């Protein structure tokens, strides 16, 4: 019997997979910026763009990060329900603004804080729903 309980470990895994996914987007964006020259008008332009992008170390870093995310995400899914894992992964909507505040010194508007709080309460509800099920099983 597979236990489907949400532990702190899995939660940490989820946060880590979120961070990794953000990092992937960052790498892909970086490699795309390297390749961006004139507007892409023809298929030859697309090929040229891809060639330059593939020469960028950021692209390979991004692909490696995709692989790592897949491994971590699969491990998570072997432990908990899909309908729990996916909502909790929305944590990145909270992480990204927090990182922007701390490292980029961006200002976050009142409305955005409210949105973050709503997401956080949603994540807490989903976490609780997983515990609820566990207690029913026992």
Partner 1 sequence: MKEGLLLVLFLIVLTSICDTINQLFLKSAINSLGVSLSANLIKIIQFIFRLARLPRVWIGFLFSVLSLCIWLIVLSQADLNFAFSVDSMHYIFIALASQMILKEKVGFRRWLGTIFIIIGIVVVSLS
Binding partner 1 (rule: CB under 8 A), the pick from 103, 104, 132, 135 is 132
- As a whole number of angstroms, the distance between CA 63 and CA 60 comes to 5
- Looking at residue 89, the DSSP 8-state letter turns out to be G
Binding partner 1 (rule: CB under 8 A), the pick from 51, 119, 134, 138 is 119
| Span near partner 1 by CB under 8 A; candidates 15-23, 48-56, 99-107, 116-124 | 116-124
- Looking at residue 90, the DSSP 8-state letter turns out to be G
36 binds partner 1 (CB under 8 A): no
- Looking at residue 78, the DSSP 8-state letter turns out to be T
Could you tell me the sign of the dihedral formed by the alpha carbons of 28, 56, 66, 19, in that order? Answer: negative
- As a whole number of angstroms, the distance between CA 42 and CA 40 comes to 6
47 binds partner 1 (CB under 8 A): no
* Residues in touch with partner 1 (CB under 8 A): 2-3, 9, 71, 73-75, 77-79, 81-84, 86-87, 90, 93, 97, 109, 111-112, 114-130, 132-133
């Amino acid at each position: 019997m597979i236990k489907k309980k949400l532990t702190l470990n899995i939660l940490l895994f989820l946060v880590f997979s979120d961070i990794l996914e953000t990092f992937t987007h960052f790498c892909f964006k970086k490699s795309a910026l390297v390749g961006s020259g004139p507007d892409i008008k023809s298929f030859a332009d697309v090929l040229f763009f891809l060639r330059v992008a593939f020469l960028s170390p950021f692209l390979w870093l991004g692909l490696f990060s995709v692989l790592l995310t897949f491994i971590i995400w699969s491990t998570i899914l072997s432990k908990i329900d899909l309908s729990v894992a996916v909502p909790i992964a929305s944590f990145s909507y909270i992480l990204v603004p927090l990182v922007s505040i701390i490292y980029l010194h961006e200002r976050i508007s009142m409305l955005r804080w409210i949105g973050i709080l709503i997401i956080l309460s949603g994540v807490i509800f989903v976490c609780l729903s997983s515990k609820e099920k566990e207690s029913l099983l026992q």
